[in-house]
Structure 1
Amino acid sequence: MSGRMTISNARKKIGWICTHVQDPRNYVVLLRHGNPIAAVVSMESLKRIQVAEDQDVQGRIRHPLYDIWQNGSGSGFPGW
Structure 2
Amino acid sequence: MKLLRRAVDDTFTAYIFLYHGRENQRRYLNVQLKNRTEELLELFLNYADLNTTRVYARIPSEEMMITYQNIMG
Q: Shared fold by TM > 0.5?
A: no
> Structure 1 length as normaliser, TM-score?
0.31
Q: Which has the higher helix share?
A: 1
> Structure 2 length as normaliser, TM-score?
0.34
Instruction: Choose 1 or 2 for highest CA Rg.
Output: 1
More contact order relative to length (CA 8 Å, sep ≥ 6): 1
Q: Which has the higher strand share?
A: 2
